[in-house]
């Protein structure tokens, strides 16, 4: 006697395919979900009272939530007074890289009421869609606020800050 499957093979194949597709849709995050999670989980606040600990690649949302700014690298690592170079990236709310904005940094010491000379450090855009801020002279021990301003072509801008407590 020959074995007869209870369910025809074509139905099993279709059912397996449908289950696989359903699992993909239900079990995997979309690009929009991942982007939303990155914005939601990005550190958005530090202060004089709670300065940052440097972590390469830390993401922070701008004050109005327009951009996600990533501190890719700081040379040297923020610990002592020195001339600093920062590399940052900027992404919009859909996590698309933004390379048509003006980026500048304004390092200040809020507790002392002064900044650096020059007052601003203008960023240059490199071929990897990264903005480089060169020669930020953080010359004095204490808490420094480095405010990054991102200005769009239409003149609108948004800001984000990092605070680092530097030793002499």
| Residue 111 in domain | yes
User: How do residues 31-42 score in pLDDT, each as one tens digit?
Assistant: 567 787 887 877
| Residue 14 in domain | no
Above 90 in pLDDT, residue 151? yes
| Residue 2 in domain | no
| Residue 22 in domain | no
Above 80 in pLDDT, residue 21? no
Domain tally for the chain?
Answer: 1
- pTM for the whole thing? 0.78
β-pair partners for 164:
144
| Residue 35 in domain | no
| Residue 1 in domain | no
| Residue 67 in domain | yes
For position 22, what pLDDT does the model report? 46
Above 90 in pLDDT, residue 160? yes
For position 24, what pLDDT does the model report? 44
In a 3-state reduction of DSSP, which class is residue 79? coil
User: How do residues 45-73 score in pLDDT, each as one tens digit?
Assistant: 678 889 999 999 999 999 999 999 999 99
Maximum C-alpha span of the chain: 94
The answer to which of 26-30, 97-101, 151-155 has the lowest mean pLDDT is 26-30
| Residue 23 in domain | no
Q: Residue 129 is part of which domain span?
A: 42-166
- Ranges of beta strands (E only) in the chain are 58-61, 68-75, 82-91, 102-109, 114-115, 121-125, 131-138, 142-151, 157-166
Q: The CATH number of the domain where 115 resides is what?
A: 2.60.40.2480
As a whole number, the mean pLDDT across the chain is: 86
Residues 6+ apart with CB under 8 A from 65: 39, 93, 158
User: How do residues 66-99 score in pLDDT, each as one tens digit?
Assistant: 999 999 999 999 999 999 999 999 999 999 999 9
Above 50 in pLDDT, residue 10? no
């Amino acid at each position: 006697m020959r074995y007869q499957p209870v369910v025809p093979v074509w139905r099993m194949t279709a059912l397996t395919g449908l289950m696989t597709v359903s699992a993909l849709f239900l079990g995997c995050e979309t690009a929009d979900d991942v982007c939303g999670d990155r914005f939601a989980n990005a550190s958005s606040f530090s202060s004089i009272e709670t300065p940052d600990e440097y972590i390469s690649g830390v993401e922070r949302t701008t004050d109005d939530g327009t951009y996600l700014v990533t501190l890719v690298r700081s040379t040297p690592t923020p610990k002592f007074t020195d001339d600093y170079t920062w590399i940052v990236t900027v992404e919009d709310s859909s996590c698309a890289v933004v390379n048509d904005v003006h980026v500048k940094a304004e390092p200040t010491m809020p507790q002392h009421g002064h900044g650096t000379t020059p007052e601003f450090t203008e960023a240059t855009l490199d071929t990897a869609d990264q903005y480089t801020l060169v020669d930020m002279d953080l010359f004095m021990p204490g808490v420094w606020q480095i405010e990054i301003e991102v200005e769009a072509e239409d003149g609108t801008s948004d800001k984000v800050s990092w605070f680092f407590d530097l030793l002499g």
